[in-house]
Chain A
Amino acid sequence: MKGSTRARLVAGMAALGLLLAACSGAKTETTGGGSAGGTKGTVKIAINPWVGYEANAAVVGYLLEKELGYTVEKKNLKEEVSWQGFETGEVDVIIENWGHDDLKKTYIQDKKVAVDVGPTGNDGIIGWYIPSWMTEQYPDITKWENLNKYANLFKTSESGGKGQFLAGDPSFVTNDEALVKNLKLNYKVVYSGSEAAIIKAAVQAQKQRKPLLFYFYEPQWAHAQAKFTRIELPAYKSGCDADPKKVACDYPPYVLDKIASKKFADTGGKAYQLIKNFKWTNQDQNEVSNAMTNDKLSADQAAKKWVDAHKDVWQAWIPTS
């Protein structure tokens, strides 16, 4: 029949065409920073899913676009995939990195596709927290030695008779299991699994006066919504967390830093310089974070608000040459 012969011919030619195209093979590497678009070039910033990160990215992105004329491409990725992006050329910069020594070793030292661009000026403080209402009723609860006394308060259906310690997102470094074991605390670590779940539980605990012992950190926008108090664990001394199984001391302050792909560092020009110069305080970041969460501004609006109010701070970041 005519119809089917014609159809077969078309299909055959299409297959031949595909085959010819396939024979050339294809690599996955895309071109790095400085490609088409905008007057100056494109900067690809990975956006990790927490508000503090978005605050950094919002302000840096705003300045790159308005002051230096770059096009900024924001990509929503988790940390793991962002670092992969350095290798494939899809990501130019991570603007707030919490530790991740294993990723640094893999991508900076072994593969040499990324570089450390220095600190952001923010200090990450991780620790054990309780809702502040508890300090009014149990003033001595902030000392770790008394936690066993209050273990009953924190009992839940998941903690099997012991007190519950609520841990959060697995992408954060935690020493909680080791701490519970080594400090001989009558507690069980329950994994909430996500930052959102822990924020929800923490804010609810303070608002509804429920007991909760949980992993938390600063800078974090939820501190503006509800008050939390940090528990005093044994003081941190250099080297006390060298062996993750034997940790019995508090978390050290984290120097949050910026990571860029090597290609972007070499060819990024003024954009790279701006990012290298970018440095601000926890208070600055909280200002922008709060604007985005509690005042419900968009990232761009929050960035503009901060930029308009703090010209003295960001003027120093703009590269002069």
Chain B
Amino acid sequence: MTAVPVAVGRRFAWSGWRRVAAVAAAVLAVAVAYVAFRGQFVLPHSDEGGTFRFFNTVRNWVDDNRNSSPVFLFFVNQIRLGVSVLFDTLQTVLQGMGWLGVTAAVGALALVLAGWRIALLAVAGFLAFGILGLWQESIDTLALTLTAVLLSLAIGVPLGILAGRSARFRRLITPVLDVMQIMPTFAYLAPMALIFLIGAPAAAIATLIYAIPPAIRITALGIREVPHASVEAATSMGSTRWQLLRKVQLPMAKRTIVLAVNQTIMMALSMVVITALIDAPGLGENIIQALERVNVGNAFDAGLAIVIMAIVLDRLTVRASQRVELRERAGRGSSVTRRRLLLVGATAVAALAVAVGAATPQGRDFPESWFFSFAQPVNTVVEWVETNLFAVTDGVKNALTSWLLNPLQEVLTTAPWWLVVVVVFGLGLRVSGLGPALTAAGCLAAVAALGLWQHGMETLTTVLVAGVLTLAIGIVLGVVAARSPRYAAIQRPFLDAAQTMPSFVYLLPAVALFSATRFTAIVASVIYAAPPVIRLVEDGIRGVPPTVVEAATAAGSTKRQLLWKVQLPMARPALLLAANQGIVMVLAMVVVGGLVGAGALGYDVVAGFAQREDFGKGLAAGIAIVLLGVMLDRITQGAGGRSAAEQAARHTG
């Protein structure tokens, strides 16, 4: 990929009927080859694969060298110590302040930063932690999440800015981000526990790995979205690069950077349960314990606490940034004195509460008489649903499985592997260009080389179906939300809940309704992956400059024309990012799917975490999931009509 736009993404530009004839001929050739070679070259699965053994030897090396190799002594262990110190400080401070201190402090902070409405929400949210009887665990989770989020932003935002300004850096870092986001945490959880030991530091680092990519990607998107005209105007007036960044790009990208902060928090909170498997403190442990006892109600309580925390943090950060923006636009005025008074007052009240909270047992331990749990009612409802709706849900599952899932899986698993690779190459070529097509085909061939072809095809089927469903739902709801702010406001808490409610909470009822099947995995994937898609689509369409919308309306467009001819095309980068993130999130759920009957790669990863001798297979399966993700990404990245490299070349600056 050179910087010359013309030479990039050479595609075969034939016109009219010749193109149709060529496509038809290609499809016919594929069909004939499939029928001819069906069932051959299918690379059946074997647990004794050579790659699996190789990874086992790698693991043994790590095992043996942990306390002697300089890499570990001076690098890895220092990182762990640093993270450990940060977490311990946060945890001690927050626990020490007691419920009274923390609630008051958060309320005061929210009041000063975001206004009285958010302050009320924050106080109510934190009181809810106590009422649910989960105060200690909630504070532990909060400390862990803050540790991970602060580190993610500290590292991620600067990297995002760099990626936004430098196309070369962006190309370099994209595959790394793909791996970090798609590689299932389960696959590297055991070796991570080996390197960073167990407990909060390892959990924070695992969370960091998962939560940094959206910080970087969305920040980069925000920087790139700054109108070229503004950048040119600033440069022509003589700004240095640093001034350009600080005075033009960052302020204009602020709304999108806040979205990055928001998504980082959401991703960090979604790791709460998995990290509990390596003894991370907090609400995750409650959920795992509730799952052991198959008690959905208890899991719901802890899940609700996580959702509340997510909503409070989200609203706080969004509103705080909005107010800063408003204030900057309005200019400084007489409200400065009033704000100073408010600041002093709030600090005084908070300090008093902290003192009381730290000193007295009533202020430290949440009063038990206020406890209330949703466990009983939730269990009753769930049992009713499971008993009475089973017929309907079972029918839906069977229908979708026999009409969509099974035929697709049949085709993919019985076709010769080279045929599938060729088809993927052809698709990539047609949609995105030569480079991405080669990458996509290469990734698929690598899956075969890892010895995971059959399982890879089974997982690909599930992912394709889930991905298509997610994108369809996501785009529809995102468009609706962009056009109706009231609907958007109502929808937002549900999106937060769907994204942050640990899937383990609703997986048990899902298993009761849909049995342990691939369909259950698809349902879980769609619930998890749709919210970010909806949000990004909504943000993208809202980001279309109002002047353009006005011009189009003035020229006489109907609402439908406005949507299809103006808003969607102009929101293309956001739509592509939404599609990309949707696929990534669906892939992130492949392992969870393995826990509820989807089998294939997801189950292999879980097995790798559970049995030492399967570690190699588990790691290989994790890599295979990443390869599938990269393949899907490369095929879809050009779906807007141009390859990403061309777009990057247009956005130089």
Contact = CB atoms under 8 A, between A and B. Distances in A.
Contacts of B511: 192, 197, 200-201
Interface of A: 22, 25-30, 49-51, 54, 75-81, 83-85, 87-88, 90, 102-103, 106, 156-158, 160, 166, 169-171, 190-201, 203-204, 207-208, 221-222, 292-293, 296
B245 to A, nearest CB: 16
Interface stretch (B35-43, B306-314, B513-521): B513-521
Contacts of B295: 293, 296
B513 to A, nearest CB: 10
Given A28-B80, A171-B611, A193-B594, A199 B599 contact: no
Given A80-B609, A156-B515, A200 B198 contact: no
B197 A50 contact: no
A26 B609 contact: no
B269 interface: no
B197 A28 contact: yes
Contact of B597 (A27, A103, A158): A158
B243 to A, nearest CB: 14
A77 B279 contact: yes
B595 A194 contact: yes
B517 A158 contact: yes
15 contacts: A27-B67, A28-B66, A77-B277, A80-B190, A81-B198, A90-B199, A157-B519, A160-B406, A170-B606, A170-B611, A192-B516, A193-B606, A196-B291, A197-B508, A292-B293
B512 interface: yes
B272 to A, nearest CB: 13
A41 to B, nearest CB: 20
B283 to A, nearest CB: 12
B595 A197 contact: yes
A79 B277 contact: no
Interface in B496-537: 507-508, 511-512, 515-519
B132 interface: no
Contact of A79 (B77, B80, B507, B610): B610
Count chain B CB atoms within 10 A of each CB in A77, A79, A196, A204 and give the residue with the most. A196
A81 B277 contact: yes
Contact of A25 (B74, B288, B390, B402): B74
Contact of A190 (B81, B198, B516): B516
B603 interface: yes
A80 B77 contact: no
A56 B402 CA distance: 45
A28 B67 contact: yes
A200 B193 contact: no
A196 B288 CA distance: 10
Contact of B285 (A76, A201, A204): A76
B517 A81 contact: no
Nearest to B607: A170
Contact of B610 (A27, A80, A156): A80
Interface string B196-207: 011100000000
Nearest to B291: A196
Nearest to B508: A200
A190 B387 contact: no
Contacts of A196: 291-292, 294, 507-508
Interface string B259-294: 000000000000000001111000001001101111
Contacts of A222: 294
Contact of A293 (B193, B293, B406): B293
